[in-house]
Structure 1
Amino acid sequence: MTHDARSALLSAALQAAACGWHVHPLRPGGKGSALHGERACPRTGVCADGHVKWEQRATTDPGRIRAAWSAGAFNVGIATGPSHLVVVDLDIPKPQEGKGSSDAPCGAASFAALCERAGHPWPATHTVRTPSGGTHLYFTAPLGVRLPCTARTVAANVDTRAWGGNIVAAGSTTPHGTYDTVDDTPAVPLPGWLLHHLHTPPKPAVTAPAPLIVPGGTTRRAAVALERETADVSRTGEGGRNSRLLAGARSLGRFVAWGEIPRHMVEQAFQAAGEASGLPPAECRTTIRSALDWSIRTARPRDAA
């Protein structure tokens, strides 16, 4: 990339830090961290006493930011937990295999329905448009509350990033386009009604021989299992993320084989959870596909399970 591109990304990093948001470098043109992982840790500098993960290394220090971005045109990541942010990620559903478009509602439509049911207008807050046409809504986290990330547990194509989460900052660029600020309003406190949704515990699984069907053709026990497993994946730290993703997707494969949940729904939920944990998108897709193929192939009949 050109020197101008690097300067623009440095400016974006400094601007985010000026808001009190802890930033770290992402791979040029990508969304994965550019910082070394645990396996490649040199055990020197900040890692002299042991590997320090990207979430802890994210900073608001202008000097450290200038030093990091002097090495390359890195995209800008924001560690939402240390930044005391909750970012609501409203996705555009990806087309299903063999179909022109997905039947799932877009994240914006799902979130609008949540606002309507809660009796509140769409909140005016700091907003970033993603290259895919999705939206990031920035909120300040409530004091004394440590929220985890979620993946499509609030509503269809609605994820949240909090502790353990990373969000790509405005000014960053991928092959699909640029992350652009569309509302520079300062981030407002997380609405109480939305906090309630994030605190609501999952319903217990149903273990009856004839599972109850919930809307969308998915059994309640499969939906609960998916929510539990994806939440665990999104909370897993560096060093065990891929293994946890593999195990979680394998555990859901039997429900796909039994016809209790559509495969595409499982793939989308684990893809979001894997990316929320910091895994590269391509690695997530490969792991999920391999895990589901194996689990579906080896699943015992439901009556014998």
Structure 2
Amino acid sequence: MATTDRHDRQATTLALAHALSAAERGLAVIPLSRTKLPALRSPHRDTPHRDAPLRDTPVDPIPCRGECGRYGHGVYDASTDPARIRDLFAAAPWATGYGIACGLPPHHLIGIDLDTKSGTDSSAALRELALRHLFTIPETVVVLTPSGGRHLWLSGPPDVVVPNSAGRLAPGIDIRGAGGYLVGPGSRTDHGVYSTAPGTAHLAPAACPPSLLRLLLPPPRVAPQSPVPASVGDHGRGLVQFVLAAHEGQRNTRLFWAACRAYEDGIGPALVDPLVEAALNTGLSEREARATIASAARMTGHHP
């Protein structure tokens, strides 16, 4: 037991050292556990309506992102300040790795995660995309994962928000963008240690090729074709725009919240079709959108 504890302390010390080194390069970091998840639990875990909204529960659509001043908000805790990083690791002495937040200045990091577990050749898929869309992956930082995968680090423009996605670009290729993080080299997990590929540790993240960047961005959203009835006023149009502005991971939550407000204000039936079309534009299926709206109707005492 003493030997295990000593090894864990050594892993934490090494992780902190690597995290501080990354911060010196302008990369904001957080401590991670051996499972690759943020090491600090949410301080709001006993209030699920804030951090883990359920579809059938009216929710605050904007969860706390650290405004409360406590640690445990995942990537929103990320920092380049050495004192804050030491405090984060002191609060999580079981941490054995660190995560690097994506999308933040100065690098606006984008991670191309080439997985090996999907049964597909993700590297070949990326090469095929490069040939088809006429781009070349520049020389950049490459991190080797314990499972044999690779993380390619690229830098994005400061005025572009690249969303996280899994398999959308191609099977086996995940994208880490704004609100996501990459496991930093030197991190120890249950499956092994992440390391920098030879000859890339000294590099800065290279600029993402414009043709690839266009593939990483979601298609532009258009206004719903179903007209918003004049009878619902600006409030109804605002609810539709609220749904249209949803990003991946908050689409159902925003739709449910907007539908609840619509039914509570007596404009629910008139807004069903515009809300469905808005949800379709965010990537939800029609069946899922209508089920969510029907759930909101029942929750507010109406019959869909």
**Normalization by structure 2: what TM-score?**
0.59
Query: Is the alpha carbon distance of 1:143 and 1:88 closer, same or farther for their aligned partners in structure 2, counting shifts above 3 Å?
Result: same
1:37 and 1:159 map into 2 onto residues whose CA distance is 25
| Residues 180 and 117 (structure 1), Cα distance of their counterparts in 2 relative to 1, 3 Å cut | same
SS across alignment from 1:233: coil
Q: CA RMSD in A?
A: 3.4
Q: Which amino acid aligns with 2:114?
A: L
Structure 1 residue 123 displacement after superposition: 2.1
Which residue is equivalent to 1:79?
101
Q: Which consecutive residues of structure 1, in runs of 5 or more, have no partner in the other structure? A: 95-101, 205-230, 241-250, 256-305
**TM-score, scaled to structure 1:** 0.59
CA distance, structure 2, for counterparts of residue 119 and residue 170 of structure 1: 30
1:155 CA displacement = 1.2
2:209 to 191, 198, 217: 191
- Pairwise mapping of residues 7-156 of structure 1 onto structure 2 (< 5 A)? 7-27=13-33, 29-40=34-45, 48=68, 53-70=73-90, 71-74=92-95, 75-83=97-105, 84-94=108-118, 102=119, 105-156=120-171
- For these two proteins, the number of residue pairs brought into alignment is 205
- In structure 1, distance between residues paired with 2:152 and 2:69: 37
**Gap regions ≥5 residues in structure 2:** 48-65, 223-246, 257-283, 289-304
Distance 1:33 1:118 in 2: 36
Aligned-pair distance for 1:48? 3.9
Residue 34 of structure 1 and its aligned partner are, at CA, apart by 1.5
Matched, 1:232 2:232: no
Aligned counterparts of 2:12 and 2:27: Cα–Cα separation in 1? 20
Aligned partner of 1:6 in structure 2 is 12
Percent identity at matched positions? Answer: 33
Deviation at 1:36, TM superposition (A): 2.6
For 2:99 and 2:163, the matched residues in 1 are separated by 18
How far has the Cα of 1:149 moved from its partner? 0.9
Bigger mean CA offset, 148-157 vs 111-120: 111-120
Match of 1:165 among 180, 193, 196: 180
CA distance in structure 1 between the partners assigned to 2:86 and 2:70 by the alignment? 24
Aligned mates of 1:40, 1:13 — CA distance in 2: 26
> 1:154-183 CA distances to partner (integer Å, 9 max, x unpaired)?
111111111121211111111211111112
